[in-house]
Copies of this chain bind each other. A is one copy, B any other.
Amino acid sequence: MMQDVLRLGGRELKSRLFLGTGKFANKMIPQVIAASGAEVVTVALRRVDLEQGEENITACIPKECVLLPNTSGARNAQEAVRIARLAQAMGCGNWIKIEVISDHRYLLPDNFETIKATEVLAAEGFVVLPYMSPDLMAAKKMVEAGAAAVMPLGAPIGSNRGLKTKELVKILIEELSVPVIVDAGIGRPSHAAEAMELGAAAVLVNTAVATANDPVAMGRAFGLAAEAGRTAFRAGPGAVSDYASASSPLTGFLHD
């Protein structure tokens, strides 16, 4: 099998796991990243605030990783754009995950404002990855606006509920020309593998790792699962059938 890489924003990524750092103690981050194999790591801008001194989260992230700041806290396109520019000015590079949220119970993204922010930031040269509600028409508009990939949610952020939007995510994967990266809701390695088996380009995990008793081990588990799912997708899985089909020869020599 040929080398399998995800090309995104001029990078070639081997790992299909993106890791969020929003709920970690900073000192644990390097170990979790190493165990998971993640090459793309998200950070919320508040945590990169330069005045935090040695608490600066970006210092905890290995240089070879792609830093993916998110616009967490933004309630509209304008705020998201402002956060993105700040992140770039602070040295976080030109990748940006757009998160625009005004719903406080389910933290669902606002596709409308997200499209606007995507357009502005893509035009400025950012590699834009919008977090989104899995709606095909909205996703197409994000692609037109210059998104490098789309990040539909599997379930509400932090819920660990799994790939509950599977039917809609499958359609995005089938119909879009950009990578689909499942973000939010992925709570178990089996969920990550399932998303990858459907053809997702990657999965982003944060809460599921951060809330495990042993986050380092859980990071490793997700890294393995993302690879398992991707490998299976490429290996061409067999058909699912209603009936049984003997996996051992049944016609018995005992009955001859």
Binding site for B on A (CB under 8 A): 1, 20, 22-23, 42, 44-47, 49, 70, 72-75, 79, 82-83, 99, 101-103, 105-112, 133, 135-138, 141, 155-161, 164-168, 171, 174-175, 187-191, 193-194, 197, 206-208, 210-215, 217-218, 220-222, 224-225, 227-229, 231-232, 234-255
Contact = CB atoms under 8 A, between A and B. Distances in A.
A70 to B, nearest CB: 6
Contact of A232 (B20, B218, B252): B218
A68 to B, nearest CB: 12
B254 A82 contact: yes
Q: How many copies does the complex hold?
A: 4
A160 B214 contact: no
A111 B251 CA distance: 20
A251 B45 CA distance: 11
Contacts of A106: 136, 171, 175, 243-244
A233 B137 CA distance: 33
A108 B225 CA distance: 30
B73 A250 contact: yes
Contacts of A110: 137
Given A133-B136, A250-B73, A243 B156 contact: yes
Contacts of A175: 103, 105-106
